[in-house]
């Protein structure tokens, strides 16, 4: 896979990641200094790939919004957090790439005085982990025992996690706190595969035995609506059910657990062994990650979505560019994002090798949580003098719609430069691209185009709530039409039962799975060989706008053809 990714062209122009045509000249790679720690065992394969021929992204200092005094918060004041000038700056500035949307990264430098090392502030990730460890401060590279606020598992990893727990703590052992364990069947649900079905049975048996409060069960699979407890994709369900809260520590047996970082919390995927240990103790020994900060400023163009931004970032730093580091997102663009936008950003940090992604909590966060949880939470922000591994700046107004070509999330290209790439199908769904706003975006474009799709277009809502939204919420600017009505008029497949479906391939009868060597444009998060089924299939990762536009033409298509 690394070889395939390295073969991609990487010419940059006006903030682009790479040219699509094979043989394009590669842009010089600009790397911040410093070595990366090895990624934890059991984490996604993306962290193990070697990325080459990519332009690095830019440097920036932080700028934060204030938050209501009703929530306890820690961190720099707005004045303290304003970007500093080049004179006396705590980071060394480097030359800005001319006419580019990004500038090269800077490496933070710690200073020393005559009395030795000078203590500096902490990043928000460090503050959250310090609180969970019961310590006044922690530093990158330090190993600390942290208390888990929530542990999530699902049907793929739950059985193995429970096996580890019973082996190590005894067959009659009880979990440390049955109200802090969340069990969500979501991956291989709507299938006749006996082993997949047995996994869900194991979840049910364990939940009953341990009196787990938050088990979102499904029994009647012929009609998911007959199961009021069933939710769907775990990462979206966690948010909708109020399990994501600022300042907390969330571990999950899924690499995209980092999605919850969009709420201003530490959220990270772990393996079955670690999860089994947490079940018995409520704690985990982890290494504090260094933090890379990404500042996105500027007005978001009408044809861009947050998926374009994270694909841009991954294309710039590579699939190993953030190995075992926190990725913190800030800036005026992020300030204006919805919760679902922020979830998308954090969702794919693991595709860059990241340990976790995080966005500072603000009024947008509080408004979302108001009707979903009454659990008190604490808000943390990075200090004005916090030390970052590196900082990057993006001028979002100059970014164009992006795709990740086969077979790696960092094999980036501009959508407009891939217009000759024929596709066989389109897929809109997953924890990355199956949220309500993702479908709203796709429906908006299709309605604007007034055309019918020319390739099979699969629609997989992430959760029951998203599925209901498709049939009940009007799409703005369409005269009151719902997503379902627009998709039906455009000739798309009927929205499927909410689940992960073909994002992880699954049994051969999984909805949307590629059982042949087809070419698919998808709003999912990975495009490695075999990821969505057949090992010779090809996957182009894209935003819902780009996926919808491509479904209408049969080729990878820049959404500006229909939106501008």
The pTM of the full predicted model, rounded to 2 decimals, is: 0.82
Contacts of 291 (CB under 8 A, 6+ apart): 123, 125, 126, 140, 325, 326, 327, 328, 382, 386, 388, 389
C-alpha–C-alpha distance, residues 423 and 77, integer Å: 50
Judged against a pLDDT cut of 90, whether residue 87 lies above it is answered with no
For 523-561, give the DSSP string: SSS---TTTTB-TT-EEEE--HHHHHHHHHHSB---THH
* Count, residues in the chain: 564
pLDDT at 117 (0 to 100)? 55
Q: Which helix (H) or strand (E) holds 413?
A: strand 412-414
Spatial CA neighbour of 542 closest among 312, 230, 254, 220? 312
pLDDT one-digit tens code per residue, 313-352: 999 999 999 999 999 999 999 999 999 999 999 999 999 9
Q: How confident is the model at residue 168 (pLDDT cuts 50, 70, 90)?
A: very high
Judged against a pLDDT cut of 80, whether residue 95 lies above it is answered with no
Rounded to the nearest 5 degrees, what angle is found at the Cα of 539, between the Cα atoms of 536 and 541? 165
Judged against a pLDDT cut of 50, whether residue 226 lies above it is answered with yes
Q: Find tokens 């918060």 and name the residue.
A: 73
What does the mean pLDDT of the chain come to? 84
Contacts of 172 (CB under 8 A, 6+ apart): none
Question: Percent of the chain at pLDDT above 90?
Answer: 78
Judged against a pLDDT cut of 60, whether residue 295 lies above it is answered with yes
Judged against a pLDDT cut of 90, whether residue 466 lies above it is answered with yes
| Radius of gyration, alpha carbons of the chain | 22
C-alpha–C-alpha distance, residues 499 and 497, integer Å: 6
pLDDT at 48 (0 to 100)? 34
CB 106 within 8 A of CB 93: yes
Task: Classify domain 126-397 at the CATH class level.
Answer: alpha beta
- Average pLDDT of the residues in 23-49: 33
- Average pLDDT of the residues in 449-454: 98
CB 296 within 8 A of CB 392: no
Q: 403-561: same fold as 126-397? A: yes
pLDDT at 93 (0 to 100)? 25
Judged against a pLDDT cut of 60, whether residue 475 lies above it is answered with yes
Question: How far is Cα of residue 64 from the mean position of the Cα atoms in its chain?
Answer: 21
C-alpha–C-alpha distance, residues 58 and 34, integer Å: 16
SS3 (DSSP) at 216: coil
Question: Percent of the chain at pLDDT above 70?
Answer: 79
Please tell me what DSSP assigns to residue 183.
E
Find out if CATH 2.40.30.10 is the number for domain 403-561.
no
Judged against a pLDDT cut of 60, whether residue 410 lies above it is answered with yes
Judged against a pLDDT cut of 70, whether residue 250 lies above it is answered with yes
pLDDT at 101 (0 to 100)? 52
Distance of CA 525 to CAs 4, 203, 235, Å? 17, 26, 13
What does the block give as tokens for 119?
């203590």
pLDDT at 119 (0 to 100)? 76
Q: How confident is the model at residue 37 (pLDDT cuts 50, 70, 90)?
A: very low
pLDDT one-digit tens code per residue, 337-390: 999 999 999 999 999 999 999 999 999 999 999 999 999 999 999 999 999 999
Picking from 107-116, 213-222, 240-249, 360-369, which range would have the lowest pLDDT averaged per residue?
107-116
Judged against a pLDDT cut of 70, whether residue 50 lies above it is answered with no
- Average pLDDT of the residues in 441-455: 98
Q: Which helix (H) or strand (E) holds 460?
A: strand 457-460
Spatial CA neighbour of 391 closest among 140, 132, 167, 63? 63
- Average pLDDT of the residues in 124-146: 98
CB 272 within 8 A of CB 284: no
Q: Find tokens 């990893």 and name the residue.
A: 157
Of residues 78 and 441, which shows the higher confidence score? 441
Judged against a pLDDT cut of 60, whether residue 258 lies above it is answered with yes
Strand partners, 292: 327, 390
Domain assignments of the chain as residue spans, ordered by start: 126-397, 403-561
Output the furthest CA–CA distance in the chain (Å, rounded): 72
CB 251 within 8 A of CB 270: yes
Q: How confident is the model at residue 109 (pLDDT cuts 50, 70, 90)?
A: very low
What does the block give as tokens for 392?
């990057």
Q: Find tokens 């949220």 and name the residue.
A: 435
Q: How confident is the model at residue 421 (pLDDT cuts 50, 70, 90)?
A: very high
pLDDT at 29 (0 to 100)? 30
- Average pLDDT of the residues in 544-550: 98
């Amino acid at each position: 896979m690394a070889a395939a990714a390295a073969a991609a062209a990487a010419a940059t122009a006006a903030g682009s990641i790479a040219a699509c045509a094979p043989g394009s000249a590669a842009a010089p790679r600009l790397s911040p200094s410093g070595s990366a720690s090895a990624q934890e065992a059991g984490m996604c394969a993306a962290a193990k790939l070697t990325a080459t021929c990519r332009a690095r992204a830019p440097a920036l200092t932080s700028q934060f919004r204030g938050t209501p005094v009703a929530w306890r918060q820690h961190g720099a004041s707005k004045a303290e957090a304003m970007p500093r000038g080049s004179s006396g700056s705590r980071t060394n500035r480097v030359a800005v790439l001319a006419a580019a949307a990004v500038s090269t990264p800077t490496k933070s430098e710690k200073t020393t005085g005559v009395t030795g090392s000078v203590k500096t502030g902490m990043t928000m990730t460090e503050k959250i982990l310090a609180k969970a460890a019961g310590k006044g401060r922690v530093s990158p590279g330090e190993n600390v025992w942290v208390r888990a606020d929530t542990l999530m598992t699902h049907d793929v990893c739950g059985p193995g996690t429970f096996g580890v727990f019973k082996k190590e703590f005894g067959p009659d052992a009880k979990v440390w706190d049955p109200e802090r364990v969340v069990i969500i069947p979501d991956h291989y649900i709507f299938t006749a595969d006996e082993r997949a079905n047995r996994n869900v049975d194991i979840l049910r048996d364990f939940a009953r035995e341990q009196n787990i409060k938050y088990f979102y069960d499904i029994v009647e699979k012929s009609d998911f609506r007959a199961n009021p407890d069933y939710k769907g994709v775990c990462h979206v369900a966690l948010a909708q059910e109020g399990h994501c809260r600022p300042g907390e520590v969330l571990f999950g047996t899924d690499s995209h657990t980092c999605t919850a970082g969009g709420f201003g919390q530490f959220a990270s995927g772990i393996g079955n062994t670690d999860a089994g240990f947490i079940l018995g103790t409520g704690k985990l020994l982890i290494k504090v990650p260094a933090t890379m900060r990404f500042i996105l400023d500027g007005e978001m163009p009408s044809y861009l979505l947050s998926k374009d931004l994270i694909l841009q970032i991954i294309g710039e730093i590579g699939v190993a560019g953030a190995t075992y580091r926190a990725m913190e997102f800030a800036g005026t663009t992020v300030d204006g994002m919805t919760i679902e936008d922020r979830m998308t950003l954090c969702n794919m940090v693991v595709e860059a090798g990241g340990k976790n992604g995080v966005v500072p909590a603000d009024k947008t966060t509080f408004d979302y949580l108001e009707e979903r949880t009454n659990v008190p939470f604490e808000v943390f922000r990075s200090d004005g003098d916090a030390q970052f591994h590196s900082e990057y700046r993006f001028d979002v107004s100059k970014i164009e719609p992006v795709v990740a070509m086969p077979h790696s999330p960092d094999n980036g290209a501009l959508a407009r430069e891939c217009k000759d790439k024929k596709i066989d199908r389109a897929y809109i769904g997953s924890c990355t691209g199956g949220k309500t706003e993702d479908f709203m975006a796709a429906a908006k474009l299709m309605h604007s185009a007034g055309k019918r799709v020319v390739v099979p277009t699969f629609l997989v809502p992430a959760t029951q709530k998203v599925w209901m939204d498709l049939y009940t919420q009007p799409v703005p600017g369409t005269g009151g039409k719902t997503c379902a009505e627009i998709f039906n008029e455009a000739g798309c497949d009927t929205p499927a039962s909410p689940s992960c479906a073909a994002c992880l391939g699954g049994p051969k009868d999984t909805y949307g799975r590629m059982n042949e060597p087809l070419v698919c444009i998808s709003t999912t998060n990975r495009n490695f060989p075999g990821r969505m089924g057949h090992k010779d299939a090809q996957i182009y990762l894209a935003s819902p706008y780009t996926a919808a536009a491509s479904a209408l033409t049969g080729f990878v298509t820049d959404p500006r053809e229909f939106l501008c």
